[in-house]
Amino acid sequence: MNPVSLPKIVVISVAFVSGFSIMTIEMLGARIMAPYFGGSISVWGSLITVFMLALSVGYLIGGRLSTRNPNPKTFALFFISAAIFSIPIIVFADAIMRPIFLAIEDPRYGSLFASIFLYFIPTSILGMISPYSVRLMVDSHEHSGHMAGQLFFVSTIGSAGGTLATSFYFVLWFDVNQILWGAVAVLLLAGSLILFINFLLQKNAAASKVPAYEKQT
C-alpha cells in the first residue's frame, strides 16, 4: 500500500503534544536532580544545555529521515520510542544518578552527566518530530516556509503550555513520577492516534480503488 498523507490538523495536534511534553520533562528535570546535585543555577544550566544539544541533534536526524520516503508510520514511531525512552527517567533515576554522584564531586559536572544519561535520548527523539512533521505537511516548495512557520508556532505554544502547566499546577496536584507517566501516556496516545488514522485512511484509499461493479457482486 502506498503511504497516504495525514490531515494537517492531526500533524499540528501531535506537534503541540510533543512541544508540551518536552517542556514538562524539562521542568521536572531540575526537581529530579536536586536531591543529588542541589538546586543551584548550574543544575538548570546543565539541564538546559543537554536539552538544547539533544534537540539540535534530533532536528538534524529528523530532517535527514524526512528525505527518505516520509510516512506516518515512521512519524508515529518517534512518539512511541520517545515515550519508551522516557520511562528510565521514572524507573532508573536513582540508579543512574547515584553512581554519578559518587564518581563526580562537583555538582555542576555531576548534573551535566546525569542530564545526558537521563534526558539526551528521549529529547533528541522528540526533536526529530518537528522537521519530520514539516515534511508531512508540505506538498510543494512554495508552501514549505508557511507550513514550517505554522508548525513551529503550534509546537512552541505547546512548549509554553507545558512549562506553565507543569510548574504552576502539575507539581501542586501530582507526584513528579505521576506527571512523567502522564507524559509517557500522552506520547503513546499521540503515536497510536497517528497509526490509527493512517490505518483508516489506507483502508478508505484501498476501498475507493475497487471498481464499482465488483462491489455490487
Partner 1 sequence: MKNKLRHLLGGALIGGVAALLQLPLIAAETIHEEKSLYRDINVVQTGSRRCLIFNVHRGDRNQTCVDVNNRDELIFSYTKMSFAGLLMNPEPKKILIAGLGGGTLPLAFNDLFPDAQIDIVEVDQAVVNVAKQFFFFEENENMTVAVNDARVFVKRAGILGEKYDFIILDAFGGDYIPEHLLTREFLEEVRQIMTEDAVLVANTFSTSRFYDHESVTYQRVFGEFFNFKLPASGNRMIITQLDPLPPRGSLITRAQALAPSLEKYGVPLLEYPNRLSTRVDWDMSRRVLTDQYAPANLLQDD
Verify binding: residue 96, partner 1, rule CB under 8 A: no
The nearest distance, CB 159 to partner 1, in angstroms, is 21
CB-nearer residue toward partner 1: 94 or 139: 94
Cα dist from 143 to 16, 35, 136, 186, whole Å:
20, 48, 12, 30
Could you say which of 3, 5, 13, 38 contacts partner 1 (CB under 8 A)?
Answer: 38
Verify binding: residue 192, partner 1, rule CB under 8 A: no
Cβ contacts of 158 within 8 Å, gap of 6 or more: 15, 16, 17, 18, 19, 20, 23
C-beta separation of 187 from 162 below 8 A: no
Verify binding: residue 34, partner 1, rule CB under 8 A: yes
Verify binding: residue 213, partner 1, rule CB under 8 A: no
The nearest distance, CB 210 to partner 1, in angstroms, is 55
C-beta separation of 192 from 40 below 8 A: no
Q: Which residue has cell 514511531?
A: 77
Cα dist from 58 to 72, 123, 153, 199, whole Å:
18, 8, 18, 27
Verify binding: residue 37, partner 1, rule CB under 8 A: yes
x/- string (CB under 8 A) for partner 1, residues 144-183? ------------------------x--xx-xxxx------
Residues near partner 1 (CB under 8 A) are: 31, 34-41, 101-102, 105, 107, 168, 171-172, 174-177
